[in-house]
Structure formats: structure tokens, C-alpha cells
Amino acid sequence: MPQATIIGVIPQYPIHSKQQVFSKETITSLGLVYVMSQIEGHNIYIIDENNYNGPVDPEGLPDHLELQKARPVKMALFYGGMSISVPRLYSVAQQYQQLGVVTIAGGKHVENMPMEALTSGIDIIVHGDGEKVMQPIVDAIIGKDGNIIEGYKRNLEQILGLSFFGNNGEYVFTGERSPMTAEELSGLKDPNIELIESIEKRWSTIPISWGVGCNHGCEFCAVKDKYRKRGIEKLLNQVESAIDLGYYRFFLVDDHAAQESDSSIEMFAALGDFLRERKPKKRVTITTQIRIDKADNDELLGAMRYAGVTTVCVGYESPIDEELKAMNKGVTVKKLVERSRKLAKNFYIHGMFIFGYPTFKDSKYKSDLTLEEKTKRYRQFFRKGRIDTIQVFNAVPLAGTELREKLDREGRLIPLSQAGWDKYDGGFLCYDSTPEGIDPRRLQDTPIELMERKYMGNALGKVLNYGRWINWTANTLGFPLRFSTSYVKNFFSNLTKKEKSFFEERVSPLGNIFYTPLKKAWKAIKRDWRTTFCNAVAGKIIGKWKSIYRKSNYSSILEKLRQRTKGYSLKTERKQYDALE
């Protein structure tokens, strides 16, 4: 049977979105890889525009017209889960649509904005789990001769969870489709990372996935599906395939990898056992995302260490009790500090925060703190919580979230003509803060200032310390003395303590009085060295972001918000926004 060629496109992120603490990491989005790995009977490949080495257009962007000439495709699939990349997605989709290629997109943004997508170059929106329906969609569109079936949209009407414009231009939604069950997830083919072609750099980290969805209904998050997980062997298959390709660093991309503690302990223990049986050439390290409350589960923490987890990403969101209540986080600042310090004994911590979370007319919990007082609380929390690296964002009113609905009801969203989707990365204030009596320019600047202070120190330190590079140099050159001192200290401390978990006993002999202090000393020195290095690199990245921001006109948009008076209506203001275009 003749085969058609199908391309997948992971759109390029805006340049300002690449200026963050993990910008040096080379990692791809797993969703589209998973979906396209389910397609049989056709030639398929993926282009990740964020790691691309192929023909480019005069603007330096991937040239899809040249790609189409060299390898004509019948269908183009797009990853539409990230709002910041949607403008680029629509631009590329329109190019393919004009060439007669059927364009399909899935992901949280396009699911929540179907009319926008369907009028911007997308022919078909896939709602929900695309892996389950991708093969039926392909079969409904591509005929046995390898060409697009005339009037194919009639075939699509039989597949639930799709939206498109019908033959008469009417909007068609084929109906809700149930999320995939755990059994269906386990029955999927494993994602094939080698589908991504024309990469510029070898991946530094490989994304892996065990579960999907999240049971916590945070109002600022677009993930609403309940948590479901695959069989443990499916995760092990992903790790083994990557090791076979020479990869040893992984990011477990589940929104919350330990939602079900008992099964998570089983999974991490199985992963640890697998790695010890497999004996890879290099040490495997894993980064994952967890909620802070999992710090209370010692058995889970031990299993994570045993599996090779070295870094945990934690959404603290705020060190202010009133804001935590408004976000429905169900935790106090005091408890956050206690749990954070415990996590810091076991892992590197990457903390994620939302600064100045908005309140509304009907908000039950409101903080009376000024921005300066809030800033002080954040700095204190970074120290008390022993957090290694941080990201501080403005609240992002993503499509489909309760937060966006609240801001929209009060008329506080900055129009997309001024704060486009490419600004929805947390680095830009995308809503009006003046109803709360907050200067939008100060709210815009404070998150960056917090990160700059954390990574580079105060103004004097930035100059004298060359952005923390002197600290890093001192830690490097002073390694022998610092390591010896730390080892002696831990050696005598270990004589009176025997703190070992079930998982640690599998790794080192119980009662080894030399191994444990050696491990602790190396861990402490390595952490200091890593922290100073991250500080220096992150400080430089933040400087690049500030340079990009200064060249934009966004500060003038926020200045117009600041100049509002009591008699200045939002309706009038929005007209003035549009006039700036």
C-alpha cells in the first residue's frame, strides 16, 4: 500500500522564553513524540524547532517550504500545549495549509481556544488524549493510494473528541471522548525519540513519562484531567531505550510524579532495581516534579534516592499564607519551610513561585503586605527553605483556567493585541493589577529582581564578585581543603549515628563507617560548587532577559495602566490599547 509522509512540528519558543535557568538544557516535548509513535503504515518524522539543524528562511527560522519541497507531506501535526509557542505554530500551520496539507493540532492551549486555532491555519483540533485516536484520524484522511481522501471530514464525524469546520463552514465538535484508562495507557507503543530529525545538538536530558493528569485543581493550571498511570514496565522501557542510545539524564515529566505514594514507591524501587541490574556505563540521574507534602513520606524519599532522583522541582507558589489560601494550596508557610528543609537533605531543589498572586472583588483571602514587604518574605523563604535554584513568575492567566476566567470577568486581562500569547511565560505581567492598588511596572519588575538578587547578590556584590564567578573559582580551587575538613567532621558524626533506609542498604554495606562520611562530604562540597556555578550562569541568563525586555515596548503598555485615574474606564483604556497598534 502506498505510504504518505506525515510531519510533526514542535514550534519554536520566543527568544525571551529561552532566557531561564534551564535554558542550557536541551530537551524536547514528549507529547507529540508519544502521539506520532502510535501511527503505523506511513512515513513519519518530527522537527523540533528548538533544536534544529536544517534549511532556514531569511529570518533564521526553520524553512518549512524547503522541507516540503525535499520531502512532500500530506499531513502536518502540531504540538499546541504551550501558549508561548502558539503564534509560531499558527504561522507554520498557515504555510502548510496553503500548500494543501491537512493540519492537525492538540494540546491544552488549542483545546481551550478551538475557534482561534481553526481560524489560524489549523484544520482539525484533537481534544484530550491524542494517542488513542491518532491512527483512526490518519485512516480517515489518507486513502489507500496514499493521498488525501476527498470530503474526508465526513469520516471524522465518527471520531469523538475532534473539532473542525464542516463542508459548509459550520463549527463541528464530534462530542466528548473519555480520557484513556490506565490499561489503555499501558497498551500504547513506547515513544520513539528517534522520530525527531535534523537536531542541532544531542539531547542533554531525555523526557520520560509514567502518569498523566493531576488530581489537584489549582486555579492557575490548565491540567484538569484526573491522574492515571501506565504500567511500571512502560517507564522502564523508556529508560532502557534512552540508555541504549547513550543517554543517562532524565526528566520525569509527570505534573506530580508521586500522586499515589504507595504505587510511586513501587515504581521508584523497580527503577532502582532495574538500573542496578542493567549497570549502565554512566550514572543515571533523574529530575522530577513533586508536591511539597511528599516530604513527609520517608519511604518515598528513600525510594526516589534509590532510583537516582537527584533534583526535585517544587511549586511552592508563595511564602505568604493568604496567597496560599487563595490558590487552594492547603498548606501554611511554616509547614512549607519544614518540608523544604527536609527535601534539601535529600535532593537539589528547584523552587517555582508566583509573585503577587492576584486577588478579586470577592476574594476571601487578601494580603495587606506591600510589594516591598512581600519581596522581603520571598528572600527570607529562599534562605530558610534551603532552595538551590528558583524561578519567580508573574501569575499567568492561561487559556482554560479559572484564574483567566476571574480576571476576564473583572475586565482585567490586557488585550492579546498588546500582551500576545508569546508573553504568557510568566516573565510578563498579562493582566491589570491597578484595581488592587499595585503599580503594574513594579509588579512586572519584582520577580526578575528577586531572581537577580538570589543568583547575583546585591548591587555591590554583582560588581565585586563578577556575578558569583569569584565564589565558584574559590570553591573549585579550595576543594582539597574543604573536602578534607568536611570528611573529618562527617566521620566522627557518623560514629554515633546509623541513619540508613531500606533502599540505602541495597547500595552500600550496613555499618561502613568510612563510606557514609565520604558520601556526605562529597555531597556537601558538590552542592556548594553546583550552587555557585548555577548562580553565575543563571545571573548571566537573567541579564540577557533584561536586555531583551528593555528593547521591547512592553513597559509603555504597563505605564498606561499605571496612569489610570478614578474616572478612567477600562473600556476607554482598551480602545487606547488598540490605538497603539
Q: What is the pLDDT of residues 45-62, one digit of tens each?
A: 999 999 999 999 999 999
pLDDT tier for residue 395 given thresholds of 50, 70 and 90:
very high
Whether the predicted pLDDT of 567 surpasses 90: no
User: With contact defined as beta carbons under 8 Å apart, do 135 and 104 qualify?
Assistant: no
What's the confidence (pLDDT) of residue 521? 66
What's the confidence (pLDDT) of residue 572? 42
Whether the predicted pLDDT of 573 surpasses 50: no
Task: Give the pTM.
Answer: 0.88
User: With contact defined as beta carbons under 8 Å apart, do 31 and 79 qualify?
Assistant: yes
What's the confidence (pLDDT) of residue 423? 96
In angstroms, the CA 276 to CA 310 distance is 16
Would you say domain 5-173 falls under CATH 3.40.50.300? no
- DSSP assignment of 139-186 equals HHHB-TTSSBPTTTHHHHTTSTTEEEE-TTS-EEE----PPPPHHHHH
Residue 491: Cβ within 10 Å count: 16
Whether the predicted pLDDT of 568 surpasses 70: no
Specify which residues 355 forms β-bridges with.
394
Q: DSSP character for 107?
A: S
What's the confidence (pLDDT) of residue 577? 38
User: With contact defined as beta carbons under 8 Å apart, do 163 and 114 qualify?
Assistant: yes
Whether the predicted pLDDT of 214 surpasses 80: yes
What's the confidence (pLDDT) of residue 526? 73
Q: Phi, psi at residue 18, to the nearest 5°?
A: -85, -10
User: With contact defined as beta carbons under 8 Å apart, do 562 and 441 qualify?
Assistant: yes
In angstroms, the CA 153 to CA 161 distance is 14
In angstroms, the CA 406 to CA 384 distance is 33
Report percent pLDDT > 90 for the chain.
Answer: 68
User: With contact defined as beta carbons under 8 Å apart, do 542 and 468 qualify?
Assistant: no
Q: CATH assignment of 205-396?
A: 3.80.30.20
| Mean pLDDT within 473-481 | 64
What's the confidence (pLDDT) of residue 581? 37
For the chain, helix (H) and strand (E) counts, in that order, are 23, 15
> Nearest CA to 506 among 279, 273, 285?
273
Q: List the chain domain ranges.
A: 5-173, 205-396, 411-581
pLDDT tier for residue 481 given thresholds of 50, 70 and 90:
low
Average pLDDT, the chain: 88
User: With contact defined as beta carbons under 8 Å apart, do 293 and 331 qualify?
Assistant: yes
C-alpha cell at 9: 512540528
In angstroms, the CA 81 to CA 10 distance is 10
| Mean pLDDT within 462-475 | 58
Whether the predicted pLDDT of 387 surpasses 60: yes
| Mean pLDDT within 113-125 | 98
Whether the predicted pLDDT of 513 surpasses 70: no
Q: Describe the chain by its helix, strand, coil percentages, rounded to 5.
A: 45, 15, 40
Specify which residues 9 forms β-bridges with.
47, 78
Cα dihedral 317, 323, 324, 328 sign:
negative
In angstroms, the CA 505 to CA 516 distance is 11
* Secondary structure of 193-211 in HEC code, one letter for each residue: HHHECCCCCCCCCEEECCE
In angstroms, the CA 365 to CA 510 distance is 51
User: Is the backbone of residue 317 left (phi > 0), alpha (psi -120 to 50) or beta?
Assistant: left
Strands 249-252 and 162-165: unpaired
pLDDT tier for residue 451 given thresholds of 50, 70 and 90:
very high
Whether the predicted pLDDT of 18 surpasses 90: no
Helices (H), 245-295: 261-278
The CB-based long-range contact list for 542-548 (8 Å cut-off, 24+ gap) reads 542/19, 542/448, 542/451, 542/452, 542/455, 542/456, 544/19, 545/16, 545/19, 545/20, 545/427, 545/448, 546/448, 548/15, 548/16, 548/19
Q: Phi, psi at residue 130, to the nearest 5°?
A: -75, -25
Q: What is the pLDDT of residues 78-101, one digit of tens each?
A: 999 999 999 999 999 999 999 999
- Burial of 481 (C-beta count, 10 Å sphere; 0-12/13-18/19+): exposed
Q: DSSP character for 413?
A: B
Cα 284 versus chain centre, distance:
21
Whether the predicted pLDDT of 108 surpasses 90: yes
What's the confidence (pLDDT) of residue 90? 99
